[in-house]
Amino acid sequence: MKNLKLTISYDGSRYYGWERQPGRDTIQGKLEAVLSRMVNAEVNVIGAGRTDAGVHARAMVANCYLETEMQPDEIRDYMNHYLPDDICVDEVRFAADRFHARYRAVGKLYTYTCYVGDTKPIFNRKYVTTLDYVPDVAAMQRAAEVLTGEHDFKSFCSNPQMKKSTVRIVDSIEIVRKKDYIYFNFHGTGFLQNMVRILVGTLLEVGQGKRTVESVRQTLDARDRQTAGYTAPPQGLSLMRVDY
């Protein structure tokens, strides 16, 4: 059995997220179906994370164990031939037997994109969230400083049944405006369910003047989802990179 490392990009618009679900189209499900057909055996694809329904990825990393004589480029080409047009395997490489896409990851970079122009982002509409206001970027940057570092992010987790630790390290939050777009870049060791989207919704409320920077600090301390902002829509979010 060979351990293979896959780097995958996908448009998550029509999928119910990464994780396989019976009777629903998911990224993991599509990958496993193609690989299982290729080797005529059941294949388990392990992803670096589980993106939500409607969320995209520029460079998701996954691994799987296969019994095959095919070379990495041949596997890549086979998969891309049979995968739908909105999923692409960008690279396949042989990995060490102990490599695990999820447990070996030491960091992830997510980018959330908002459009604040006067017209419509026709060609980017599936990959941005359109705002009908222009948020105060400087205020959001000040609030982002409060959220940066090692904290208990329970207030920013959508899963109330979460039994594992909700402490995470977000070592960098960058918020920049470039012409008609505002980019929120989050880098951290790992993220909770819907965490990035709730962080964005909370920061946007600061940018609208609906909450203060101090209230963001209080939200962190409260460890209560009800105290945080709304969950920003999925289409503006993309997983950009996984670090090992």
Helix H or strand E encompassing 65: strand 56-66
Question: Alpha-carbon distance 240 to 115, whole Å?
Answer: 18
Asked if 45 and 28 count as a contact pair (C-beta separation under 8 A), the reply is yes
Q: Which residues of 41-69 are buried (b: 16+ CB within 10 A; e: fewer)?
A: eebebbbbbebbbbbbbebbbbbbebeee
State which amino acid sits at residue 74.
Answer: E
78 φ, ψ to 5°? -60, -45
* Tokens coding 30: 């599509």
DSSP state of 231: -
Q: How far is CA 224 from the centre of its chain?
A: 22
> Which amino acid does the sequence have at 140?
M
Catalytic (active site) residue 52: yes
Residue 43 · residue 28 · CB < 8 Å: no
The radius of gyration computed from the CA coordinates of the chain, to the nearest angstrom, equals 19
- The β-bridge relationship of strands 181-188 and 87-94 is unpaired
Residue 166's nearest CA partner among 155, 176, 175, 174 is: 155
Catalytic residue among 52, 85, 97, 118: 52
Q: Which residues are catalytic?
A: 52
